[in-house]
């Protein structure tokens, strides 16, 4: 490990390369642009640069440009004089002035309005600005670090971000990889967060391992390190002590792991079947089993876009058995019955039921469901109407 001090945790090649870059960057005053998805640790990187720089004893001022309304952001950054606008009852220092001698971190820089980007560009170039309502030019000695989860190249092309400002900020680019791109760091992060939250809460939850770690490694972590940190906090608080079980994991993580596992032999294994607790008052077992069966059938139909052949293969049952189950639920209409309804509607006889017995179709033949295409309502379909399916 490098002597460089950082709150970042990881031993992957990607994170080690970042450590090496930050170690060099921290000793300069060059402007840094940190990019990466939400939750990857962009603020931690900014702190690491500041805390390892010659400015470490001076302030680190953090401004989230996306969290402050655009009409207030200018006053927040550059300050204002008393009476400069309605509500300005006293003179106030801006964040740039407060960061004098230290570092200012402009988070979510991609959300900054275009009219303020011009003023920021001047500060970067000259280190000078005027507070709102003042004609006096102020000079500041600050190191500027910016961060964004947006694609600023695309924003520049779309005229949503000034090209000249982008190049001024992007002197030293630092891209933080998503957690799914450095999964080898997950065990280390899990152990780190487990220890951290055990110390904070006084609990004694063991760091996950075995199947639990396999499940964490299988998940893609769209929320990145922040999502993993929040999960570990939740597990430590709710578990309290002992080891974490598969049943303690959120459904989204459990499901991702279970879908990638081979089917169990004989009785369903722990990861294939949800944990259930029998209520003290008992339960309607038949209703629960039926609901569970219907849920799996619905998933199979949705996953195969309503194709009953493929759905029956997923469920390992005969297609005719699946069709019968769908008919009992009212989810399927035989083609012959549908044809009769259309013929009666065409003749205007639907109200008196003429033709209901014969079931004659447009060709004058008796309809037969065995040779027709059934209709079934697909769970999760974009509309609520039944639609024809492949068979």
Q: Do 71 and 86 lie in a common domain?
A: yes
Mean pLDDT for the stretch of residues 98-116 = 96
Spatial separation of the C-alpha atoms in residues 266 and 144, rounded to whole Å = 62
Q: Is residue 8 part of a domain?
A: no
At residue 335, the pLDDT reads 61
Q: Do 338 and 353 lie in a common domain?
A: yes
Q: Is residue 173 part of a domain?
A: yes
Spatial separation of the C-alpha atoms in residues 49 and 81, rounded to whole Å = 33
- Count up the domains in the chain and report the number: 3
Q: Is residue 351 part of a domain?
A: yes
**Within 13 Å and on the Cβ side, how many CA atoms surround 81?**
11
Nearest to 188 by CA among 361, 321, 318, 10: 10
Q: Do 143 and 25 lie in a common domain?
A: yes
Domain boundary among 145, 177, 209: 177
At residue 4, the pLDDT reads 60
Q: Do 19 and 133 lie in a common domain?
A: yes
As beta bridge partners, residue 103 has 60, 143
Spatial separation of the C-alpha atoms in residues 32 and 143, rounded to whole Å = 9
Q: How confident is the model at residue 252 (pLDDT cuts 50, 70, 90)?
A: confident
Instruction: Output the domain CATH number for residue 197.
Output: 1.10.8.60
pLDDT tens, residue by residue, 35-85 = 999 999 999 999 999 999 999 999 999 999 999 998 899 999 999 998 888
At residue 385, the pLDDT reads 38
Q: Is residue 271 part of a domain?
A: no
Q: Do 154 and 204 lie in a common domain?
A: no
Of the two residues 97 and 245, the one the predictor is more confident about is 97
Name the average pLDDT for the chain.
83
Q: Do 32 and 143 lie in a common domain?
A: yes
Q: Residues 6 or more apart from 88 whose CB is under 8 A from it? A: 75, 80, 81, 82, 132, 133
Of the two residues 318 and 88, the one the predictor is more confident about is 318
At residue 294, the pLDDT reads 87
Q: Is the pLDDT of residue 333 over 70?
A: no
Q: Residues 6 or more apart from 386 whose CB is under 8 A from it? A: 333, 375, 376, 377
Q: Is the pLDDT of residue 265 over 70?
A: no
Q: Kindly report the number of other CB atoms within 10 A of residue 201's CB atom.
A: 13
Domain boundary among 156, 177, 198: 177
Nearest to 301 by CA among 277, 329, 343: 329
Mean pLDDT for the stretch of residues 338-344 = 68
Quick one: 22 exposed, middle or buried, by C-beta within 10 A (0-12, 13-18, 19+)?
buried
* Inter-residue contact 65 to 117 (CB < 8 Å): no
Q: Is residue 57 part of a domain?
A: yes
At residue 68, the pLDDT reads 93
- Which token pair is 70? 């655009």
Q: Do 220 and 366 lie in a common domain?
A: no
Q: Is the pLDDT of residue 24 over 80?
A: yes
Q: Do 17 and 126 lie in a common domain?
A: yes
Q: Mapping DSSP to helix (H, G, I), strand (E, B) and coil, where does residue 283 land?
A: coil
Q: Is the pLDDT of residue 330 over 90?
A: no
Q: Is residue 4 part of a domain?
A: no
Which residue's entry shows tokens 């294939």?
272
Q: Do 41 and 162 lie in a common domain?
A: yes
Strands of 27-127 (E only): list them.
Answer: 32-35, 60-64, 103-107
Task: Give the C-alpha distances (Å, rounded to integers) separating 318 from 39, 303, 334, 389.
Answer: 46, 18, 18, 17
pTM of the model: 0.69
* Inter-residue contact 164 to 121 (CB < 8 Å): yes
Domain boundary among 177, 201, 229: 177
Q: Do 169 and 63 lie in a common domain?
A: yes
Q: Is residue 273 part of a domain?
A: no
Q: Do 245 and 296 lie in a common domain?
A: no
Least confident of 47-51, 184-188, 193-197, 253-257: 253-257
Q: How confident is the model at residue 150 (pLDDT cuts 50, 70, 90)?
A: very high
As beta bridge partners, residue 147 has 34
pLDDT tens, residue by residue, 276-329 = 656 678 888 888 888 888 888 888 888 898 899 999 999 999 999 999 888 888
Q: Do 246 and 295 lie in a common domain?
A: no
Range(s) of the domain holding residue 384:
285-388
Q: Is residue 2 part of a domain?
A: no
Instruction: Output the domain CATH number for residue 40.
Output: 3.40.50.300
Mean pLDDT for the stretch of residues 104-108 = 97
The helix-helix angle for 42-51 and 13-25 (nearest 10°) equals 40
Pairing state between β 143-148 and 103-107: parallel
Which residue's entry shows tokens 């058995």?
321
Q: Is the pLDDT of residue 270 over 70?
A: no
Instruction: Output the domain CATH number for residue 315.
Output: 1.10.10.60
* Inter-residue contact 141 to 59 (CB < 8 Å): no
First to last CA, the chain: 59
């Amino acid at each position: 490990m490098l002597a460089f001090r950082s709150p970042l945790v990881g031993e992957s090649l990607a994170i080690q390369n970042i450590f090496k870059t930050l170690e060099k960057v921290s000793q300069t005053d060059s402007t840094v642009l940190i990019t990466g998805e939400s939750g990857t640790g962009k603020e931690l990187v900014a702190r690491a640069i500041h805390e390892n720089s010659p400015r470490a004893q001076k302030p680190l001022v953090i401004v989230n440009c996306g969290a402050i309304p655009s009409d207030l952001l200018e006053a927040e950054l550059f300050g204002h004089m008393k009476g400069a606008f309605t509500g300005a009852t006293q003179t106030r220092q801006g964040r740039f002035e407060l960061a004098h001698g230290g570092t200012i971190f402009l988070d979510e820089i991609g959300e900054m309005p275009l009219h303020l980007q011009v003023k920021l560009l001047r500060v970067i170039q000259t280190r000078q600005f005027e507070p709102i309502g003042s004609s006096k030019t102020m000079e500041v000695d600050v190191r500027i670090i910016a961060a964004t989860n947006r694609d600023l190249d695309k924003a520049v092309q779309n005229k949503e971000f000034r090209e000249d400002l982008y190049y001024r900020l992007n002197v030293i680019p630092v891209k933080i990889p998503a957690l799914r791109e450095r999964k080898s760091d997950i065990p280390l992060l899990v152990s780190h967060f487990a220890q951290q939250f055990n110390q904070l809460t006084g609990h004694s939850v063991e760091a996950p391992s075995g199947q639990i770690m396999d499940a964490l490694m299988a998940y893609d972590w769209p929320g990145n390190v922040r999502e993993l940190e929040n999960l570990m906090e939740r597990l430590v608080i709710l578990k309290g002590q002992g080891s974490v079980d598969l049943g303690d994991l959120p459904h989204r993580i459990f499901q991702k792991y279970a879908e990638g596992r081979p089917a169990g032999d004989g009785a369903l294994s722990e990861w294939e079947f949800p944990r259930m607790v029998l209520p003290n008052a008992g339960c309607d077992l038949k209703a629960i089993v039926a609901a569970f069966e219907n849920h799996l059938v619905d998933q199979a139909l949705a996953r195969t876009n309503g194709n009953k052949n493929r759905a029956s293969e997923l469920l390992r049952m005969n297609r005719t058995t699946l069709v019968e189950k769908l008919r009992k639920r009212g989810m399927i209409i035989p083609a012959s019955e549908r044809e009769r309804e259309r013929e009666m509607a065409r003749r205007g006889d639907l109200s008196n039921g003429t033709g209901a017995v014969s079931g004659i179709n447009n060709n004058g033949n008796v309809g037969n469901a065995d040779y027709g295409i059934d209709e079934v309502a697909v769970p999760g379909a974009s509309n609520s109407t039944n639609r024809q399916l492949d068979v």
